[in-house]
Amino acid sequence: MSELEQRTKGEVTVVLVNHQGGAYLPRCVEAVLRQQAIREVIVVDNASSDGSPEWAEAQGGKVRVLHAGGNLGPAAARNLGLEEVTTPWVLFLDNDVYLPDDAVARLLEAGEQAPEAALVQPRSVFAGDASRVHYDGGQLHHLGLFSLRNWYRSLDEAQRADAGPLTWLDGAISLCLLARADALRSMGGFDARYFILFEDLDLSFRVRAAGWRILSVPGVVVRHDEGTAGVSFREGPRYPARRVFLHARNRWWFLAKNLRLRTLLLTAPSQLAYEVAYLSLALRHRALSSWVQGKLAALAGLPGLLRDRLRVQRGRVLGDRELLVGGPLTLTPDAGAAALGARLLDRVARSWFRAVRPLLR
């Protein structure tokens, strides 16, 4: 055992979210169990029927299964796991993420050296093409999105561009995320209303607004497999209707909960431009009804956001002018007219935000 692994032994609990993960879970858990910093692995199962929770229960030892009682989504599942954590640090992990052997110890060492960091994340690449970056954190776009760093860039390019072994970010991706357990509890954990999509954007915003920081360790590279069936989209002819619904609903919830009213008013023109663009995407993929249902669900849920909005705004240390950016707008790679439209939208959003940013607070 290395000196690093000896210093960090047993300091982290892994909360591993699983739903129908039979194709991924064994490889994921096997990689986790090779980590030296782990005290316990809590597999929170969202009503899987493919035998994966039974497989996890049969592992014994450090592995414990917590049954959610239904498919509550990853945000709620992470919160259930967080309630069981007794270590100072918790690693949230999706069941299709594979860790290199020293990943947790290196993330933990970085977090321990930065007491202002509430979240620490690695770089992820595609499991099927480890030469390409998938997620690498990013910034908080004023449109209520992530402006992602190194999105689909070659790993070699990303590594050459690294300024050093550690990087401060404003946005973290939850597929593999080390967190200070007490800091996360003090902020209420993940917002389970989102179910999936935007829950890590929401957490990142609240963490930064409250004065905590987010640290990236780009030298720790994890592999990310296929994602959530019916929601994840990388490329292909059809954009999932379920994703259209969740995006249409959750983006409005994020904006209404977190951004100041002045910001929403001043950025209204670029917000409207984005809505038109996303509506055109829904129409192109024959998902108009999903878009409409998402907007109706967003409106129905707005009254329930008021209490949380007040808590976010009262606890803020940083304002929107310090937290938000105008671009780049990060969208899944596309071709033809859609790509041209995305570039035009990016220019519009950047220009408008540049004009109004001095007026934000």
CATH code: domain of residue 63:
3.90.550.60
Mean pLDDT of 33-56: 96
Checking if the pLDDT of 287 tops 90, the result is yes
Say if residues 360 and 324 touch (Cβ distance below 8 Å). yes
Beta bridge partners of 43: 16, 65
Across the chain, the runs of DSSP E, i.e. the strands, are: 12-18, 38-45, 63-67, 89-94, 97-98, 117-126, 129-133, 138-141, 145-148, 167-169, 176-180, 213-224, 324-325
Q: pTM higher than 0.75 for the full model?
A: yes
Going by pLDDT thresholds of 50, 70 and 90, the confidence category of residue 54 is very high
Domain count for the chain, please give it. Answer: 2
Checking if the pLDDT of 233 tops 70, the result is no
Residues of the chain above pLDDT 70, percent:
93
The predicted pLDDT at position 338 comes to: 74
230 in a structural domain: no
292: domain range?
A: 241-359
The predicted pLDDT at position 5 comes to: 47
Average pLDDT in the chain? 93
State whether 256 and 154 are in the same domain.
no
Residue ending a domain, among 195, 224, 253, is 224
236 in a structural domain: no
| Least confidently predicted of 8-12, 210-214, 346-350 | 8-12
Which of 246, 236, 248, 198 has its CA nearest to residue 338?
Answer: 236
Residue ending a domain, among 167, 196, 224, is 224
Rounded CA-CA distance 139/141 in Å is: 6
State whether 113 and 206 are in the same domain.
yes
301 in a structural domain: yes
The predicted pLDDT at position 341 comes to: 86
Residues of the chain above pLDDT 90, percent:
88
229 in a structural domain: no
The predicted pLDDT at position 2 comes to: 56
pLDDT in tens, 128-175: 999 999 999 999 999 999 999 999 999 999 999 999 999 999 999 999
The predicted pLDDT at position 226 comes to: 81
Rounded CA-CA distance 177/184 in Å is: 12
